[in-house]
Amino acid sequence: MSTEVEKFNYDDAVVRKFAFATAVWGVVATLAGLWLALMLVMPDLSFGLPQLTFGRLRPLHTNAAIFAFAGNAVFAAVYYSSQRLLKTRMFNDALSNFHFWGWQAIIVAAALTLPFGITQSKEYAELEWPIDIAIAVVWVAFAVNFFGTIARRRERHIYVAIWFYMATIITVAILHIVNNLSLPVSATKSYSIYAGVQDAFIQWWYGHNAVAFFLTTPFLGLMYYFLPKAANRPVFSYRLSILHFWSLVFIYIWAGPHHLHYTALPEWASTLGMLFSVMLWMPSWGGMINGLLTLRGAWNRVAEDPVLKFFVVGVTFYGMATFEGPLLSIKSVNALSHYTDWTIAHVHSGALGWNGFMSFGMLYWLAPRIFQTKLWSKKLAELHFWCGTFGILLYIVAIYAAGVTQGLMWRAFDATGRLQYPDFVETVVRLIPMYWVRVVGGSLFVAGMVMGLVNIVMTWKNRPASYAESTDEAPALGPYTGHTPKLVVPRYSQMTATGHAFVYFAKAQWHRVWERHPFKLAIWTAVAVIVASAFEMVPTFLIRSNVPTIASVKPYTPLELAGRDIYVAEGCYNCHSQMIRPIRAETERYGEYSKPGEFVYDHPFQWGSRRIGPDLQREGGKYPDLWHVRHMQDPRSTTPQSIMPSYAWLEHQELDFGSVQKKVDAMAMLGVPYGDAVLHAEQLAHAQSREIAERIASQGGPKHLENKQIVALVAYLQRLGTDIKHQGS
Amino acid sequence: MKLSDVVSALHLPLFAEVPLLVFMGIFIGVAVHLLGNKSELAQLGTLPLRDERNRGRRDLP
């Protein structure tokens, strides 16, 4: 074995870039969130501009928070800690730079496309196919760089933080590819290859695991490296951290279906999702306790060190959010919480409290080290901490109250057995004061983020004229000469080969081998994720009774399909669900509950996850066409207390009839039985639009709307949920 | 005959229980391993504190 000590230096330039990007995008993401919060109380803030509506901007906020702010924080953590834990420079500086600039370009592309209604409408996976391909390319570059660094390491043992990063890289790649499989119609439009129930299942398998493997596992890697560094104490229990890792990898991937309780998803999948979600309680809390106990003997420093303050609150929010997540997955709790602001409060306690505070704890710890000067203002960091903490608390308490109020009002019956609040808008109006408190809390949090950015920029401005190289030394890694347990069956043993295999497994020495062989560890992590996913996906896709077909359910007409694309582009799913649960309060309010077979032609599904406005599954035929035209023009003309923005431009913008044929062709390729419509979709669309336009005019509405987008949207809305009405259900 | 015909006809009442057993097996295996390597693992837990011998940094707080 080589004992010659080698000197090497670390690439901190890329860490500086990612750290800067974290602080900048953090401000952008939270400002967008604040703007959206204001829109809930001042719906005219969109100023009649399509690009500024809630439906189009909400995905921009979520994508900026998850992929721009948290993503850049994760990459800063990975690039800083991996080099030091593996005792080597990153594998390739060009790949590091490609990763940085490629990721920022993707974020900019998201900011340029989402406000223009270019979206797949899958939550946290809204970006269209060319950007998805770019994400895959950049991610592969990151993976090659990361695994190349591991291969060149000088430290034999792979520290647990690196395991968490590894699980992130592998699983995010799998999730991204599977969820974004779609058929392109043009450079800016595609249809998911999955439909209805299957699409919903895949989306929430992705959605939940994006939280797990983009917002949890890499941040745990961050915690297991930066918290011991900041506390100057080793992690409380390294054994617990390993147990934490495997438990999360094995359990998280199963939990996605809890996002679809009481929907048309098969019961068994929903129950399995709930069971595994509840099982997450233990490892999550084990990890939280491990984090907090790492500060044993250092608690006195928390009062004076803003870094430790951020970490303590961050880890505490991890505990709170991971207590609440399993709670919300329990079906009876979920029946109350689903579609309400409770979910939004939960998400923000995780994203602002856990991800936000861990990110800024790391940034404040990193800043003096990567900029090689003192932090510009410790007092400002302290002020950021208190603004952020009070901001989150105000925000989430108000939104918890709003969520529970909403849920209880939706299900309230009066003494005569009728809905106590039959008009949905009554439940909206009640929440307005809480939305204002949310604005105040959000403003405080944004103020803290701005302070953080100022502090980072000013620290950078005080940097030395040239950075000193961050160097280290370690012997090269020679071949392993220690004991390697192997499965051996002695020739004259009284025990069978199976018995020996059992003993080998039970002693778990294989795990010790994996710890030295990162690629075996990576492969087994991938196997755990793929097998768990397959266990849920295979029956969902292949057992026919899970999605019984309904004879009366037919494909959308070409015009309805074009209208559906407008519904998708406007992001209507951000405020309206299309899923009536089999709960009496819902069937009383909205009509017949949703059946899996109703969605077999829905590429992509539009079930939504939240009801700022009412469910639209049985909207078809509820109102005359003219009502929809007036409602889109000015929602407050039909519902005075509505908080929906105006969509007046739909009445003026031309419908692109030229693309209708392509869209129908794409749907036909995905297996939608369009029959004759495949040959003359455009003519059919024109014929139906003339019919609707005449009807609107005859009802006293504006004339000559036959070529306008509003007609297509009305066609779609009037079709919603009517197929099973025809069946007489 | 399609694959969906085969899977639909399989009647897999224990399907959901299999992953639970797989998980328990792995979990117990890892836990046993961790119980048996206490001192060595405690040593490995100090890795973040041993990762920079030369700092090349100035004026740390």
Over 50: is that where the pLDDT of A346 sits?
yes
Q: Which residues of B touch A304 (CB under 8 A)?
A: none
How buried is A618 (Cβ within 10 angstroms: 0-12 exposed, 13-18 middle, 19+ buried)?
A: buried
- The mean pLDDT of A140-159, rounded to a whole number, is 93
pLDDT digits 0-9 by tens, B3-40? 667 766 666 656 667 777 877 787 777 777 777 767 77
Number of A:B CB contacts under 8 A? 138
Question: Which of A235, A510, A540 best tests the B interface by mutation, with the highest count of B CBs <10 A?
Answer: A235
Q: Which of B15, B38, B59 sits opposite A374 (nearest CB)?
A: B59
Over 90: is that where the pLDDT of A473 sits?
no
For the ranges A218-222, A415-419, A656-660, B42-46, the lowest mean pLDDT is seen at B42-46
pTM given for the model: 0.92
- The mean pLDDT of A103-107, rounded to a whole number, is 98
Angle between helical axes of A238-252 and A518-542 (0-180°, round to 10): 30
Q: Which residues of A touch B59 (CB under 8 A)?
A: 368, 372-374
pLDDT digits 0-9 by tens, A42-87? 999 999 899 999 999 999 999 999 999 999 999 999 999 999 999 9
User: Does B34 sit within 8 Å of A535, measured CB to CB?
Assistant: no
What's the rounded Cα separation, in Å, for the pair A577 and A605? 10
Per-residue confidence (pLDDT) for residue A350, from 0 to 100: 95
What's the rounded Cα separation, in Å, for the pair A96 and A106? 15
Phi/psi for A339 (5° steps) reads: 75, -5
Per-residue confidence (pLDDT) for residue A88, from 0 to 100: 94
Per-residue confidence (pLDDT) for residue B54, from 0 to 100: 43
Per-residue confidence (pLDDT) for residue A262, from 0 to 100: 87
Q: Beta strands A189-192 and A182-186: pairing type?
A: antiparallel
Quote the minimal CA–CA distance from B24 to chain A in Å: 10
Q: Is the peptide bond prior to A604 cis by the omega test (within 30 degrees of 0)?
A: yes
ipTM of the complex: 0.77
What confidence category does residue B58 fall into, taking pLDDT thresholds of 50, 70 and 90? Answer: very low
Quote the minimal CA–CA distance from B19 to chain A in Å: 7
How buried is A212 (Cβ within 10 angstroms: 0-12 exposed, 13-18 middle, 19+ buried)?
A: buried
What's the rounded Cα separation, in Å, for the pair A449 and A447? 5
Per-residue confidence (pLDDT) for residue A534, from 0 to 100: 81
Per-residue confidence (pLDDT) for residue B60, from 0 to 100: 47
The one-letter code for the residue type at A327 is L
pLDDT digits 0-9 by tens, A121-141? 999 999 999 999 999 999 999
Per-residue confidence (pLDDT) for residue A381, from 0 to 100: 97
Q: Alpha helix (H) ranges present in A294-431?
A: 299-302, 306-329, 331-337, 341-348, 357-370, 378-410, 424-429
Q: Which residues of A touch B8 (CB under 8 A)?
A: 542-545
- The mean pLDDT of A589-594, rounded to a whole number, is 94
Helix or strand (DSSP H, E) at A682: helix A681-698
What confidence category does residue A176 fall into, taking pLDDT thresholds of 50, 70 and 90? Answer: very high
Mean pLDDT of the residues in chain A: 92
CB proximity under 8 Å: B 23-42 to A: 23, 26-27, 29-38, 41-42
Q: Which residues of B touch A506 (CB under 8 A)?
A: 29, 32
pLDDT digits 0-9 by tens, A551-581? 889 999 999 999 999 999 999 999 999 999 9
Question: Which of B8, B21, B44 best tests the A interface by mutation, with the highest count of A CBs <10 A?
Answer: B44
